Amino acid sequence: MDRPGATVTRAFSWSLPLFAGGIFGALSTLATIGDPDLFWHLAQGRQTVTEGLARVDSFSWSVNGLPVLTDQWLGQAIWYEAYAALGWNGIILLRALLVAATVTLIVAAALTAQRRPIVAVVAALPAIGLSRFAWTERPQLMGLLCFAALILLLRASAERPRLLMAVPVLIVVWANLHASFALGLGVTAIFCGELWLRRPDARALAVGVVAVSIAATLLTPSGVSIWTSASGHFLSPPRVIQEEGVPDVTQPYGMVFAFVLLAVLSTAMLSRPTVLRDVALIVPVLFVSMTAARHTPFFAVASVPYLAGHAPEAISAIASRLGINVRLPAFAPRVPSLRIDLATAAIALAVVIAAGFIARGEPNLSPYPSGALSSLPPGPGVVNDYDWGGFLIWYAPATPVFIDGRLFPYTGDALRDYETLVSLGPTWRDVLARRGARALLVKPGSPVAVRARDLRWPIVTESATYVLFIVPNSR
């Protein structure tokens, strides 16, 4: 029998979620590292660990000394500690552990709604597949893990509301890891609103959890300004960045997102009506996921329990219309013992750790201007491509960057000047002179590189990936 409202009880086994987590955690080690933002996150983490939390920029020459966001300080420090302990393999291992934990929680959430293991895993697969696009070496992955934990927690608390008291603890950790905590807080507030309506005896708890969770978000070094990054991403996503672009269903990740969305839509229409809390957990997250490509995994994760519980019924409805007799076998609960769970956890952990150590640790630097590092002039004056800023912060600390993936510190004059330069705006020469640029490290196909080559500016070094020009007559 399906039990969509079922919660984590003693009849629940973690073996299957841990098994799935171990597999996907190990698989994640096959992906090389090299996300453009990894490097500046590591640099900031190192700065936090070794010098304390920096509240002003010290990596660039365009916004040097101006305030920077500190909203991901804990996540950055953890990533750096992993690197400090085990080098690049530490990064791979940490990523694998985070992936394993996320997948474990996703499958566990599916099992709260669907006790047939195979059905639960199948329902979780699209979300796991979509989360693949968030398996980056950044605090963002920790945010996804927190979200998966929140969904499981909220589902479990539907029948045991006291579990909600763990939410503020999760929120306070999350707020120090990544700005996606705002989504968690929003979902919690909506869920508690539903609880307030449904359970008069739990109203004080619902209000208290929301209030304490809000207060918990202020327990970060950023204080109230922690909301700056979250609201900036949500209300005005910087579309120039690919992952902040509108979800595109003609791309692979978009196809998976569309599949999940259409599966939820079809399931809603063809299965029995569900309870309001399922709607509260899915529909608001859908809107957030539609705002930007990077947010699409949230909806997939949130909808897993609903799909696990209701999709079989929808499929049966379609099959019966087609005259196909589909019947799931009756489920005979044989829950493994706690020892089996512990053994599975140990094996999964061992597999993930082993895979992390075996994996090729060196980052993939082919998209970056590695060959130009030795030719970079030290000190300010190098205008670099946006995508390479983090790389330069990490690998060429003596040459401060003009811009990098942190983006928000540059919003305003610096970003405008950068766009004028690389796109050869009418005032590009004025910008060069006003900024005192001495060199350009840009992609060969960019308009400014083409123009500089036409003008026969001296080239220090170049490849198919990059070209380093000296700006004539610069100081």
Partner 1 sequence: MASATRPLAAILAANAYPLSVASAVFIIAVGLPSADPDTYWQVAMGRWMLDHRELLHQDVFSSTVPGAHFGIGEWLGEIALAASFNIAGWAGIAVLRAGLIAIASYFLVRLARRGGTPWWISLPLIVAALLVSKITWTDRPQLFTLALFPAVLVLLFSLSPGFSRRLLFLPPIFLIWSDLHSGYPLGLFVVAIFAAESMLTNGRRGLPLVVTAIACVAVTFLNPAPIDFAGAARESVLHPPRFLVEFLPPDVVTPAGALFAGFVMLVIGSAMLRGGSLREAMLLAPLLYLALTAQRHMLFFCFAASAFLGPRLNPLPRWRSFELPVPVRLPVAIALFVAALGSIVSAPVRPDDRAYPAGALEALRADSGVLLNEYDWGGYLIFNLPERPVFVDGSYVQYLNGVLDDYRALVGLRPGWQGLLEKYTVRELLLQPQRPLAVALREDGWQVRAADSQGRWIVLARP
Shortest distance, position 130 Cβ to partner 1, whole Å: 14
Residues in contact with partner 1, shown as a per-residue x/- string from 446 to 475 under the rule CB under 8 A: -x--xx--x---------------------
Shortest distance, position 45 Cβ to partner 1, whole Å: 31
3-state per-residue secondary structure call for the chain: CCCCCCCCCCCCCCHHHHHHHHHHHHHHCCCCCCCHHHHHHHHHHHHHHHHCCCCECCCECCCCCCECCCCCHHHHHHHHHHHHHHCHHHHHHHHHHHHHHHHHHHHHHHHHHCCCHHHHHHHHHHHHHHHHHHCCCCHHHHHHHHHHHHHHHHHHHCCCHHHHHHHHHHHHHHHHHCCCHHHHHHHHHHHHHHHHHHCHHHHHHHHHHHHHHHHHCCCCCCHHHHHHHHHHHHHCCCCCCHHHCCCCCCCHHHHHHHHHHHHHHHHHHHCCCCCHHHHHHHHHHHHHHHHCHHHHHHHHHHHHHHHHHHHHHHHHHHHHHCCCCCCCCCCCCCCCCHHHHHHHHHHHHHHHHHHHHHCCCCCCCCCCCHHHHHHCCCCCCEEECHHHHHHHHHHCCCCCECCCCCCHHHCCHHHHHHHHHHCCCCCHHHHHHHHCCCEEEECCCCHHHHHHHHCCCCEEEECCCCEEEECCCCC
Q: Return the range that interacts with partner 1 (CB under 8 A); candidates 34-42, 105-113, 172-180, 283-291.
A: 283-291
Count of residues near partner 1 by CB under 8 A: 48
From the list 36, 90, 117, 237, which residue makes contact with partner 1 (rule: CB under 8 A)?
Answer: 237
Shortest distance, position 81 Cβ to partner 1, whole Å: 36
Q: Return the range that interacts with partner 1 (CB under 8 A); candidates 77-85, 109-117, 314-322, 410-418.
A: 314-322
Closer Cβ to partner 1, 265 or 350, answer by number:
265
Shortest distance, position 370 Cβ to partner 1, whole Å: 22
From the list 53, 122, 214, 286, which residue makes contact with partner 1 (rule: CB under 8 A)?
Answer: 286
Using CB under 8 A as the binding rule, whether residue 133 contacts partner 1 is answered as no
From the list 211, 318, 338, 340, which residue makes contact with partner 1 (rule: CB under 8 A)?
Answer: 318
Q: Return the range that interacts with partner 1 (CB under 8 A); candidates 9-17, 195-203, 275-283, 385-393.
A: 275-283
Name residues contacting partner 1, limited to 243-272 (CB under 8 A). Answer: 246-250, 254, 258, 261-262, 264-266, 268-272
From the list 1, 224, 322, 398, which residue makes contact with partner 1 (rule: CB under 8 A)?
Answer: 322
Closer Cβ to partner 1, 1 or 455, answer by number:
455
Name residues contacting partner 1, limited to 386-445 (CB under 8 A). Answer: 423-426, 428, 444-445
Q: Return the range that interacts with partner 1 (CB under 8 A); candidates 134-142, 229-237, 349-357, 397-405.
A: 229-237
Shortest distance, position 263 Cβ to partner 1, whole Å: 9
State the residues that interact with partner 1 by CB under 8 A: 235-237, 239, 246-250, 254, 258, 261-262, 264-266, 268-274, 276, 278-279, 282-283, 286-287, 290-291, 306, 317-318, 321-322, 423-426, 428, 444-445, 447, 450-451, 454
